[in-house]
Amino acid sequence: MSAKDVLKLIKDEEVEYVDVRFTDPRGKLQHVTLIVDIIDEDFFEEGFMFDGSSIAGWKSIDQSDMKLIPDTSSVYIDPFYAEKTLCVHCNVVEPDTGEPYSRDPRSTATKAEAYLKASGIGDTAYFGPEAEFFVFDDVRYSVAMNKVSFEVDAADAAWNTDTEYEMGNSGHRPGVKGGYFPVNPTDAAQDLRSEMLSTMKRMGMKVDKHHHEVASCQHELGLIFSSLTDQADNIQKYKYVIHNVAHAYGKSVTFMPKPIKGDNGTGMHVNMSIWKGGKPLFAGDKYADLSQEALWFIGGILKHAKTLNAFTNPATNSYKRLIPGFEAPVLRAYSARNRSGCVRIPWTESPKAKRVEARFPDPAANPYLAFSALLMAGLDGIKNKIDPGPASDKDLYDLPPEELADIPTVCASLREALESLEADHDFLLAGDVFTKDQIEGYLALKWEEVYAYEHTPHPVEYQMYYSC
């Protein structure tokens, strides 16, 4: 859409406010709301000034002036505000030069797409993320000097089979690891998910399905693939809609990778493909009908997997999901259809649907940075013809110890992931997609999280060690 198109939409829809939105380094959507009276064509070209020093990991107070430049292709009407509000995603630029701010995640995504075109390898990268989430009725936590605790609850949780309710206990609940896919009344969230998906559709998002996931209280909605930056925008809208529809139902959503013990964690499998001149680059006559470029792309993903973890699994909590021998894929191996490795090639009859699926990411990720890093790793694989080795078509969960020892794994902690990013990031700097300043700023933010986690006693340590 052009600026004139957006202004016409504002008039036709009788919009009262314009919400300018951007994403911080950790992946949280931020916003400023402007009255529509000040919105004109110049606004879309000149942007909106704001204080960057208030965003963690960005400017210091002596260099705080920054500018938001709206992307008119990203506009949508907010479905939750009482006053008619049009939302637009923005890139962040330096006000004196107009150049993209090096630490702006959305600008990184747009630079990654430009780098792909400049490389000559392809002209479009498509991403299809599958982000899971948990829905709870009650969430409480405390982090104090003398108390560290959390407690979550939900009426349809597996642990409530014997709970006494005023209206009685129906008894219909998915068991532990039993949520995939019983119908209602066992699946009690059908209407909640339908409203989430319908809301996304009304916002112009391309969606296809929803269902209960494996764990108790765990769910997933389906997004149809799109180009890198657009799909990162969609993940931000996906989270926004899910949080707010759940809130309207009196419920709470988390995208934490491992919010409860003893059941499946939450992943965000990321399907990827590259196209060039209207043709799928990943379709060919090699293993699983992949092209040589697709195999090299996989080679890049597997080689740089530990560095990728810093962006695709950026929470200390991520590594409570990525544990060898459990449900999450931690082994750096690839296979057709086999879901036990880090990379899967989904079965498809159409060359147009040929794609590569990274199975280790989770939805704590900043989508702009995670998708960009995945693309850059894959492109590095193609440029340097990185051989991924033979495919692993066995069930990797059942391998004998001597075979398992030969397969490398992803990181086991956020500390390891950050150390890997420090040691291996040159491939991210190609084409100035990521910058050293951006990586240093991101590392500083994430080290704060590691130190906070490592310095805090855990309740299970009291159980294990208090009487030692």
DSSP 288-337: GGB-HHHHHHHHHHHHTHHHHHHHHS-SGGGGGT--TTSSS--B--EEES
Give the tens place of pLDDT for each residue, 237-252. Answer: 999 999 999 999 999 9
Q: Does the active-site annotation cover 94? A: no
Which range is least confidently modeled, 5-14, 178-187, 324-333? 324-333
- So what's the pLDDT on residue 61? 67
* pLDDT over threshold 80, residue 387: yes
Q: Which of 89, 304, 332, 359 is catalytic?
A: 359
Residue 404 confidence (pLDDT) above 90: no
What is the C-alpha separation between 7 and 12, in angstroms, rounded?
9
Identify whether 21 is a catalytic site residue. Answer: no
What gap in Å lies between CA 239 and CA 29, rounded to an integer? 9
357, 362, 380, 425: the catalytic one is 357
Q: Which of 244, 203, 226, 229 is CA-nearest to residue 76?
A: 203
Q: What pLDDT is attached to residue 328? A: 78
Question: What is the reported pLDDT for 64?
Answer: 78
Tokens 């013990």 belong to residue: 261
51 is a catalytic site residue = yes
| pLDDT one-digit tens code per residue, 136-151 | 999 999 999 999 999 9
- In this prediction, residue 62 carries a pLDDT of 67
| Annotated catalytic residue, options 339, 422, 424, 449 | 339
Active site residue 355: no
Q: Rounded to whole angstroms, how far apart are CA atoms 105 and 424?
A: 20
Active-site residue, 132 included: yes
Q: Are 415 and 297 in contact (CB under 8 A)?
A: no
Rg value, the chain, Cα: 23
pTM recorded for the entire structure: 0.96
Q: Please identify which of the residues 132, 156, 187, 293 carries the catalytic annotation.
A: 132
Question: Catalytic: 359?
Answer: yes
Consult the annotation and say whether 46 binds a ligand: no
Residue 403 is among the residues annotated as catalytic for this protein: no
Per-residue pLDDT at 332 exceeds 90: yes
Domains contained in the chain, CATH given: 3-101 (3.10.20.70), 124-465 (3.30.590.10)
